A and B are shown apart, each in its own frame.
Chain A
Amino acid sequence: MPSTLFEKLWNAHVVHEQAGQPSLLYIDLHLLHEVTSPQAFAGLRAAARGVRRPNLTFATADHNVPTTNRALPIADPIAAIQIETLAQNCREFNIQLFDFNSAEQGIVHVIGPELGLTQPGMTVVCGDSHTSTHGHGAFGALAFGIGTTEVEHVLATQCVPQNKPRTMLIQTKGHLPEGVSAKDLALGIIGQIGTDGATGHVIEYAGEAVCSLSMEGRMTLCNMSIEAGARAGMVAPDDQTFHYLQGRPFAPSGAERDAALAYWQTFKTDPGAAFDQVVEIDAATLEPFVTWGTSPGMVVPISGNVPDPRAGRTAAERGSTERALEYMALAPHTSIENISIDRVFIGSCTNARLEDLRAAARVVNGYRISRSVKAMVVPGSQNVKRAAEAEGIDQVFREAGFEWREPGCSMCLGMKPDILKAGERCASTSNRNFEGRQGRGGRTHLVSPMMAAAAAISGHFTDVRKWEFKE
Chain B
Amino acid sequence: MIPFRIHSGRVALLDRANVDTDQIVPKQFLKRIERTGFGAFLFHDWRYLPDGEPNPSFSLNHPRYRGASILVTGKNFGCGSSREHAPWALVDFGFRAIIAPSFADIFANNCLKNGLLPVVLGDTQVAKLGARARENEDYEVTVNLEECTVTDSQGFSSVFAIEEFQRQCLLDGLDDIGLTLHLEAEIAAYEIKRPAWIR
Contact assessment for B28 and A415 in the assembled complex, using a CB-CB cutoff below 8 Å? yes
Q: What residue of chain A has the Cβ atom nearest to residue B184's Cβ?
A: A157
- Report the minimal beta-carbon distance from A274 to chain B, rounded to whole angstroms: 22
Instruction: Report B21-32 CB contacts with A as 1/0, cut-off 8 Å.
Output: 011001110111
| Interfacial chain A residues near B105, Cβ < 8 Å | 165, 199-200, 229, 231
Contact assessment for A195 and B31 in the assembled complex, using a CB-CB cutoff below 8 Å? no
Contact assessment for A20 and B197 in the assembled complex, using a CB-CB cutoff below 8 Å? no
Instruction: Report B147-185 CB contacts with A as 1/0, cut-off 8 Å.
Output: 000000000000000011100000000001100110100
Contact assessment for B45 and A435 in the assembled complex, using a CB-CB cutoff below 8 Å? yes
Complex Cα gap A440–B52 (Å): 13
B195 in contact (CB, < 8 A): yes
Q: Which of A52, A195, A260, A413 contacts B197 (CB 8 A)?
A: A260
- Report the minimal beta-carbon distance from B197 to chain A, rounded to whole angstroms: 4
- Report the minimal beta-carbon distance from A11 to chain B, rounded to whole angstroms: 12
Contact assessment for B197 and A252 in the assembled complex, using a CB-CB cutoff below 8 Å? yes
How many chain B residues sit at the interface, stated as a range, is 35 or more
B76 in contact (CB, < 8 A): yes
Instruction: Report B177-199 CB contacts with A as 1/0, cut-off 8 Å.
Output: 10011010011001100111110
- Report the minimal beta-carbon distance from B153 to chain A, rounded to whole angstroms: 28
A374 in contact (CB, < 8 A): no
A259 in contact (CB, < 8 A): yes
Interface set, chain B 17-62, CB cutoff 8 A to A:
17-18, 20, 22-23, 26-28, 30-35, 45, 50
Complex Cα gap A35–B25 (Å): 13
| Interfacial chain B residues near A62, Cβ < 8 Å | none
Complex Cα gap A260–B195 (Å): 8
Instruction: Report A27-52 CB contacts with B as 1/0, cut-off 8 Å.
Output: 01100000110110010000101001
Contact assessment for B196 and A159 in the assembled complex, using a CB-CB cutoff below 8 Å? no
B118 in contact (CB, < 8 A): no
Contact assessment for A119 and B198 in the assembled complex, using a CB-CB cutoff below 8 Å? yes
| Interfacial chain B residues near A287, Cβ < 8 Å | none
Q: Which of A76, A122, A432 has the most chain B CB within a 10 Å cutoff?
A: A432
| Interfacial chain B residues near A26, Cβ < 8 Å | 187, 190-191, 194
| Interfacial chain B residues near A121, Cβ < 8 Å | 195
Instruction: Report A119-159 CB contacts with B as 1/0, cut-off 8 Å.
Output: 10110000111000000000000000111111011001111
Contact assessment for A157 and B33 in the assembled complex, using a CB-CB cutoff below 8 Å? no
Q: Which of B75, B113, B163, B176 contacts A147 (CB 8 A)?
A: B113
Interface set, chain A 39-88, CB cutoff 8 A to B:
39, 42, 47, 49, 52, 56, 63-64, 76, 78-79, 81-82, 85
Contact assessment for A434 and B183 in the assembled complex, using a CB-CB cutoff below 8 Å? no
Instruction: Report B86-126 CB contacts with A as 1/0, cut-off 8 Å.
Output: 01000000000000001011100110011000000000000
A163 in contact (CB, < 8 A): yes
Contact assessment for A422 and B22 in the assembled complex, using a CB-CB cutoff below 8 Å? no
Contact assessment for A156 and B177 in the assembled complex, using a CB-CB cutoff below 8 Å? yes
- Report the minimal beta-carbon distance from A417 to chain B, rounded to whole angstroms: 11
Q: Which of B18, B32, B79, B165 contacts A22 (CB 8 A)?
A: B165
Complex Cα gap A38–B28 (Å): 16
Complex Cα gap A152–B176 (Å): 11
Q: What residue of chain A has the Cβ atom nearest to residue B31's Cβ?
A: A78
Complex Cα gap A364–B109 (Å): 44
B67 in contact (CB, < 8 A): no
Complex Cα gap A295–B18 (Å): 8
Complex Cα gap A338–B52 (Å): 35
| Interfacial chain A residues near B194, Cβ < 8 Å | 26, 28
Contact assessment for A159 and B113 in the assembled complex, using a CB-CB cutoff below 8 Å? no
Contact assessment for A440 and B50 in the assembled complex, using a CB-CB cutoff below 8 Å? yes
- Report the minimal beta-carbon distance from A252 to chain B, rounded to whole angstroms: 4
- Report the minimal beta-carbon distance from A431 to chain B, rounded to whole angstroms: 10
Q: Which of A35, A145, A147, A435 contacts B30 (CB 8 A)?
A: A35
Complex Cα gap A129–B105 (Å): 10
A469 in contact (CB, < 8 A): no
Contact assessment for A436 and B45 in the assembled complex, using a CB-CB cutoff below 8 Å? yes
- Report the minimal beta-carbon distance from A400 to chain B, rounded to whole angstroms: 29
Complex Cα gap A49–B190 (Å): 21
Q: Which of A42, A148, A196, A440 contacts B104 (CB 8 A)?
A: A196
Additional A-B contact list (20), CB under 8 Å, known A157-B177, A260-B195: A15-B190, A20-B165, A26-B190, A35-B31, A49-B181, A81-B33, A121-B195, A148-B35, A159-B183, A195-B18, A195-B76, A196-B75, A199-B102, A229-B76, A256-B196, A259-B197, A316-B17, A416-B28, A435-B45, A436-B26
Identify 15 residue pairs between A and B in the complex whose beta-carbon atoms are under 8 Å apart, listed by A's number: A15-B186, A38-B33, A39-B35, A78-B32, A81-B33, A128-B82, A146-B106, A147-B83, A149-B113, A157-B177, A199-B104, A231-B106, A295-B18, A434-B20, A434-B22
Interface set of A (CB-CB < 8 Å, partner B): 15-16, 20-22, 24, 26, 28-29, 35-36, 38-39, 42, 47, 49, 52, 56, 63-64, 76, 78-79, 81-82, 85, 119, 121-122, 127-129, 145-150, 152-153, 156-159, 161, 163, 165, 195-196, 199-200, 229, 231, 252, 256-257, 259-260, 263, 295, 316, 320, 323, 413-416, 422, 432, 434-437, 440-441
User: Can you list the 6 inter-chain pairs with the closest CB atoms, starting with the nearest?
Assistant: A38-B33, A147-B110, A252-B197, A129-B82, A147-B84, A149-B113
